[in-house]
A and B are shown apart, each in its own frame.
Chain A
Amino acid sequence: MHTELRQPSSPTKDVLLEATDIKKSFGGVHALKGASITMRRGEITALVGDNGAGKSTLVRCLSGIHKPDSGTIRLDGEVINFATPNDARKQGMETVQQNLALVEELAVWQNFFLGRELVHGPFRTLDRKLMKKTAADLLKNLAVNVPPVTSKVRRLSGGQRQAVAIARAAGWGSKIVIMDEPTAALGVQETAKVEQVILTLRDSGVSVLLISHNFDQVMRLADHVWVMRAGLSVAQRRTSESSGDELVALITGAKAN
């Protein structure tokens, strides 16, 4: 199957990330058969598609968890090759995983700096004061409701945990934050708060790649949407020029592109 992609409606706008013809197979399963997406600077780009369409695999290729079999990824025009998630992080690409990667027994500030702790003094002791302050500031800038940074993550609500994970991902001068179903496990109120957090993040200049099954959410949040089907990116739309119904049609294949 080969699909002609429509040109983006305003190709001059600054492209931050460009993944071209990404292929990835697991044994005999061809998860990605040449998927391509672009992300524009300062926008929320949504990635939609049915289960098994290849969204998660594509995101895992972008965040350094999987190595693509072929294809190129360009960040800011430069070709990048991530061997590990840490490489991706160093280039300014953070991923908020579906399980959030938080340690429940640890405090919010400890989770915030986990693996990247700040130290001071001759014995390289943890700079607890600075870490607590930084975490509190970053959370306050982003979150509607701020959990105290000294509370254990175990005590936080689902929405608060999501906010902590997003704030952590955004807190490292990241260019791109990738979010995999950030509101899948949340109730209506909490979802609204997390959506607010995502918009605040976008407004602060961070580009967001959002994977979501919720078309209303995609229409509400995203500036641009890519549709995946059977390992390929089959269509892209500006959300302002599309509708939830059209997205459904594109996902199911009722409408080709």
Chain B
Amino acid sequence: MPTQTKADAPPRQTPPLIAQAKQVSFWAEQAAPIGLVGLVIVFGILSPTFLTLGNIRAMLVAAAILVVLSVAQSFVITTGGIDLSISATMTVGAVGFGLAWQAELGFVLAAVVAVASALVIGLINGLLIARGKVTDFIATLGTLSVATGLALIFSDGKPITVNSSELLTLTSGSLGIFGYPIILAVIVGALGWFVMFRTRFGLHVQAVGGSEESAVANGINAPRVRIAVYLISAGLAGVAALLLVARVGAAEPAINTAFLLNCIAAVVLGGVSLTGGKARIVGPIIGALLLTALTNGLTLLGVSQFYQPLAVGLVVVLAALLTRFQKK
């Protein structure tokens, strides 16, 4: 074997943790878990209730919707797209559920209607972007408005009260400190991870995001992948709608913008590049937990609600700055 030149030397072995910690890239890659641990320590010291089992349980339940949306958004962002309509799609799903419930279709059919009505929005997004060649940002900005409008029109702008025993069980049941909502969210996360990293489709999602041209040259149907990720995003928004209706006890035609911004923030915190190609599922989930812990901790400390968006915004901007130091 000829002597190896520098260019052909194999990449260095992963250095031990302590050596890694000296590099900025380590902090950039691990922003979400490090941030979460930091927040838990700080709030744990500042507030005696923060680390009680009751509060942890409440936090996990509160995080469930955001976790589901973050997994959904992660698929879209991995292709280099973005789904701005995700929270409005969830609202459509919630109103769909409410109307079906009102029509006395029963829980199961109402849940099917919720997911199906959300999928319609996803299909429109996918077709606009993959076939109509409309930029993701613009297409989903449009459907954000369309979906919000449809939810208002169909519900006549009024919340629909839902007294479903199934939803009550969903929102109040638990295994130990893990409420059913977070268990559902973790199942969604595990399925998402499996699809992204263990199936052909997941690899194609990453390939299309990494280089659409190369993906197509290797026979991958990029438009179909794009339509699929928007369907996944919308379908999961429909699942999140069930959690939302369960939590609120009613299907509200609210705008839910905070969920949109927070799920994009969670994905960015989780180390997913907005330019696409770099898939993460666990990172965004931890990002979602971090943002929920942040809001919860600030509330416990009696910080005015007005400061919460400010805090979330600062964390996200900081995370975005850190991602510049990620390893290429």
Query: Which one of B198, B207, B213 contacts A125 once the chains associate, using CB atoms below 8 Å?
Result: B198
In the bound complex, what is the Cα–Cα distance between A155 and B10 (angstroms)?
9
Contact A160:B8 (CB < 8 A) given known A106-B210, A114-B203, A126-B198: yes
Closest chain B residue, CB of each to CB of A113: B203
Contact with A along B312-328 (1 / 0, CB 8 A): 00000000000000001
Which B residues are in CB contact (< 8 Å) with A190?
7
Which B residues are in CB contact (< 8 Å) with A12?
none
* Number of residues from B at the complex interface, CB < 8 A: 28
Contact with A along B204-218 (1 / 0, CB 8 A): 101101110111011
In the bound complex, what is the Cα–Cα distance between A253 and B291 (angstroms)?
71
In the bound complex, what is the Cα–Cα distance between A144 and B4 (angstroms)?
10
Give the interface residue-count category, chain A: 20 to 34
Q: Is the CB of B210 within 8 A of A104?
A: yes
Which B residues are in CB contact (< 8 Å) with A124?
199-200
Quick check: is A117 within 8 A (CB to CB) of the other chain? yes
Contact A148:B10 (CB < 8 A) given known A106-B207, A114-B218: yes
Quick check: is B253 within 8 A (CB to CB) of the other chain? no
Q: Is the CB of B277 within 8 A of A86?
A: no
Q: Which candidate, A31-39, A42-50, A95-103, A223-231, is the interface stretch facing chain B?
A: A95-103
Which A residues are in CB contact (< 8 Å) with B11?
148, 151, 155
Contact with B along A148-190 (1 / 0, CB 8 A): 1001001101011000000000000000000000000000011
Q: Is the CB of A115 within 8 A of B8?
A: no
Q: Is the CB of B200 within 8 A of A105?
A: no
Q: Is the CB of B219 within 8 A of A103?
A: no
Q: Is the CB of A86 within 8 A of B219?
A: yes
Q: Is the CB of B8 within 8 A of A145?
A: yes
* Cβ of A185 to closest chain B Cβ, rounded Å: 13
Q: Is the CB of A116 within 8 A of B219?
A: yes
Q: Is the CB of A189 within 8 A of B5?
A: yes
Quick check: is A85 within 8 A (CB to CB) of the other chain? yes
Quick check: is A110 within 8 A (CB to CB) of the other chain? yes
Which A residues are in CB contact (< 8 Å) with B328?
154
Closest chain B residue, CB of each to CB of A154: B328
Q: Is the CB of A85 within 8 A of B200?
A: no
Contact with A along B1-31 (1 / 0, CB 8 A): 0101101101100000000000000000000
From residue 35 to 70 of chain A, which have CB atoms closer than 8 A to chain B?
none
Q: Is the CB of B200 within 8 A of A119?
A: yes
Which A residues are in CB contact (< 8 Å) with B213?
99, 101
Q: Is the CB of B277 within 8 A of A157?
A: no
Which B residues are in CB contact (< 8 Å) with A154?
328
Quick check: is B278 within 8 A (CB to CB) of the other chain? yes
* Cβ of A233 to closest chain B Cβ, rounded Å: 26
* Cβ of B323 to closest chain A Cβ, rounded Å: 14
In the bound complex, what is the Cα–Cα distance between A113 and B219 (angstroms)?
11
Q: Is the CB of B277 within 8 A of A144?
A: no
* Cβ of B114 to closest chain A Cβ, rounded Å: 26
Which B residues are in CB contact (< 8 Å) with A115?
204, 215, 218-220
* Cβ of B7 to closest chain A Cβ, rounded Å: 4
Which A residues are in CB contact (< 8 Å) with B210?
103-106
Q: Is the CB of B214 within 8 A of A125?
A: no
Closest chain A residue, CB of each to CB of B275: A105
In the bound complex, what is the Cα–Cα distance between A105 and B212 (angstroms)?
12
Q: Is the CB of A101 within 8 A of B4?
A: no
Q: Which of B194, B204, B219, B220: most chain A Cβ within 10 A?
A: B219
Which A residues are in CB contact (< 8 Å) with B2?
144
Contact A105:B278 (CB < 8 A) given known A85-B219, A97-B217, A99-B214: yes
Q: Is the CB of B211 within 8 A of A114?
A: no
Which A residues are in CB contact (< 8 Å) with B199?
119, 123-126
In the bound complex, what is the Cα–Cα distance between A151 and B13 (angstroms)?
11
Closest chain B residue, CB of each to CB of A101: B217
The 5 closest A-B pairs by CB, nearest first: A101-B217, A115-B218, A105-B277, A105-B210, A115-B219
Partner-A contacts on B (CB < 8 A): 2, 4-5, 7-8, 10-11, 194, 198-200, 203-204, 206-207, 209-211, 213-215, 217-220, 277-278, 328
| Given contact pairs A114-B215, A159-B8, a sample of 20 additional A-B residue pairs in the complex whose CB atoms are under 8 Å apart | A89-B219, A103-B215, A103-B277, A104-B277, A105-B206, A105-B211, A105-B277, A105-B278, A106-B210, A114-B203, A114-B218, A114-B220, A115-B215, A115-B218, A116-B218, A116-B219, A124-B199, A126-B199, A151-B11, A190-B7
8 CB contacts below 8 A, A to B, read A102-B214, A103-B206, A119-B199, A119-B200, A125-B194, A144-B2, A148-B11, A157-B7
